[in-house]
Amino acid sequence: MTTPHPAPARYAVLGGTGFIGRLLGDRLLEQGIEVLSVARKAPEVPAPGRFAAFDLSTADPAELAELFDRERIDTVVNAAGGMWGLTDEQMHEANVVLTERLIEAVAAMAAPARLVHLGSVHEYGMAPVGVSQHEQDEPAPVMEYGRLKLAATEAVVRAAESGRLDAVVLRLGNVVGAGQPGHSLLGVMAAKLDTARLAGATAELSLQPLSAQRDFVDLIDTLDAVQLAAEGLAAGRRVPPVLNIGSGSAAAARQLVDLLIEESGVPTAVTEVPAPEGTGPETEWQQMDVLAARDHLGWVPKRSLRQSVRALWQAQTA
């Protein structure tokens, strides 16, 4: 008598056409996992797996619950959200309203799926140089995006602690890798270097000191964490409601730009632009303590900043 094989996992990835969501979907498909990519509108480049256009900031959560039930979804990853180029009201809809309605939708499923929600290091705000940020620290975001991401995280945590959902929030550092958004610092620099490469010219970059130190984490390491979190929930392991996913060390943004220039091999003329008047030496930074993710998920960051930037550049020139 043969042993029946378990049915493959079935993931829904909200934000499935975005920076993290698209690569996650591709990776899951390669592993034989069923993928439903969900976004507000169909992309020009087809999304991984099956695609559903759905705007949770305006649609009825019951409709999404029905969609998840039809697709027999057992794991939802919320990689949706918005920051760049949005008003505060639009950011609120994209981050808070969407998450609250997603919680309603998943809780209303006939068999509620597990939820992995992607939060942000910006929920913490800043810390004195030399101090790491722990999950137990009181968040003190300094920008509207951080405040809105914190509100979304708190909604997921409330749902998990009340027993409505089996869920975990992964607070991500500043993710770097292939497909870097074009509006980000590294995305802008990569585009300028690539333009010069194609023209056979010297790239001319004007850069401020960029001495602010932040926690940057590799995209592939991030995807590893997402899958380990989902697998931990599926196995019934006790996972804390919030886990930090970062490199565990701070680095200056200028360091990443310099690595990008090196990896590109493009001749580059850098003009140093003075910092804004009144700017003094850095006294605050962001550096995440990631030991809880190691203890509860078996996850540790493995890839270097150079590897992250190399993947970014290879994707830019592909």
Domain-embedded: residue 297: yes
Catalytic residue (one of 11, 19, 124, 145):
145
Q: Residue 155: give its domain's CATH number.
A: 3.40.50.720
For residue 145, the SS3 value is: helix
CA distances from 106 to 29, 110, 231, 247 (A): 22, 9, 18, 31
Domain-embedded: residue 207: no
Domain range for 229: 10-177+217-248+287-302
One-letter amino acid for residue 165 of the chain = L
CA distances from 220 to 17, 45, 178, 225 (A): 17, 21, 9, 9
What does the pLDDT read at residue 52?
Answer: 95
Domain count, the chain: 1
What does the pLDDT read at residue 142?
Answer: 92
Domain-embedded: residue 274: no
Would residue 145 show up in a list of annotated catalytic residues for this protein?
Answer: yes
CA distances from 112 to 17, 64, 69 (A): 24, 12, 9
What does the pLDDT read at residue 82?
Answer: 77
Domain-embedded: residue 122: yes
What does the pLDDT read at residue 277?
Answer: 67
Domain-embedded: residue 191: no
Domain-embedded: residue 168: yes
> Block means of pLDDT (10 residues each) for the chain, length 318 residues?
52 96 97 95 92 88 96 97 78 92 97 97 96 97 94 97 96 97 93 98 90 95 98 93 97 95 96 72 90 98 98 96
Domain-embedded: residue 281: no
- Bridge partner residues of 213 (DSSP): 252
Domain-embedded: residue 258: no
